[in-house]
Amino acid sequence: MCGQHGDKPGQRQRSGPAVWAAAQSQSVAGDMDANIQRHLRVMEIAAEQGVEFLLFPELSLTGYEPTMARDLAFTEDDLRLQPLKNMAQALKMITVVGGPLLSGTRSDVRIAALTFGLDGEVSVYTKQHLHSGEESVFNVGVGGAPVHLGEDRVHLAVCADFSHADHARKAASAGATLYATSVLISTAGYAKDSGLLRGYAKTHRMPVLMANHAGTTGGWQSAGRSALWADSGERVAEIEGAGEGLLIASRDGSGWAARTLAISL
């Protein structure tokens, strides 16, 4: 995405601070068409709440389904993505979704976060660090450019990326005003992983937004509990447990204000 200061053509005119959201969504295993429709509905709900940046979980378009990933993999210009691109542009809401991306041949599949921008542009971030076992299906990615929203500079991460402290450090050093990570974190792993994210927020004075799956995917039971940590390390808000919902937040000179909203699709 091309970063500009001030309002770009088509950008929402803002009377107050930017509004950010993590979508804690449930994916239908292997059904990209159904998941796109679910994403569109979440986007509509988020826009009704004034959201300008919406983050979905890791592999949200297919579910976390490594055994299906090569058959489900798509390119960034896949026509099925057009409704998401159109919706992001119509709603004037930057939207980040996850999926298995073909980066050449069928054997080169990467875990990607695709950002749909305000002018119909699409930018790609690919996961740089794989969990044990993922390398049997996925190739290591190369990251991607930060996402700009007005004066804000958002650096993306996909799940295991943040388990490497250098990833968050580099984002902070590059001037990130928000570290936004799409994840699948299980109940058993939540305490450790949320502790890392809280620590990055405090150490680097960098707010951290995390979007987790709403329920079971790929045989894993997600913890849910999508969250936002302020640059003090304080947890600003967290969705209570699993289940579909939105965490919505904005920040002004006096600090963060956040709320959660249960959704039913």
- Tokens at residue 109, please? 């599949």
5: exposed, middle or buried (C-beta count within 10 Å: 0-12, 13-18, 19+)? exposed
pLDDT score recorded for residue 13: 53
The residue extents of the domains of the chain are 19-262
pLDDT score recorded for residue 6: 34
Cα–Cα distance list, 66 to 103, 130, 132, 187, 192 (Å): 16, 12, 12, 20, 23
pLDDT score recorded for residue 103: 84
Q: Which CATH architecture has domain 19-262?
A: 4-Layer Sandwich (3.60)
pLDDT score recorded for residue 12: 47
The residues that bridge with 183 in the sheet, in sequence order, are: none
- pLDDT tens, 3-25? 222 333 334 455 578 999 999 99
pLDDT score recorded for residue 47: 98
Over the chain, what is the mean pLDDT?
A: 93
pLDDT score recorded for residue 15: 57
Instruction: Give the CA count within 13 Å in the CB-facing half-sphere of 158.
Output: 31
Placement of tokens 């980066």 in the chain: 103
pLDDT score recorded for residue 5: 28
pLDDT score recorded for residue 14: 52
Neighbours of 75 (CB within 10 A): 12
> In the chain, which stretches have pLDDT less than 50?
1-12
166: exposed, middle or buried (C-beta count within 10 Å: 0-12, 13-18, 19+)? exposed
Contact 100, 138 (CB under 8 A): yes
pLDDT score recorded for residue 104: 74
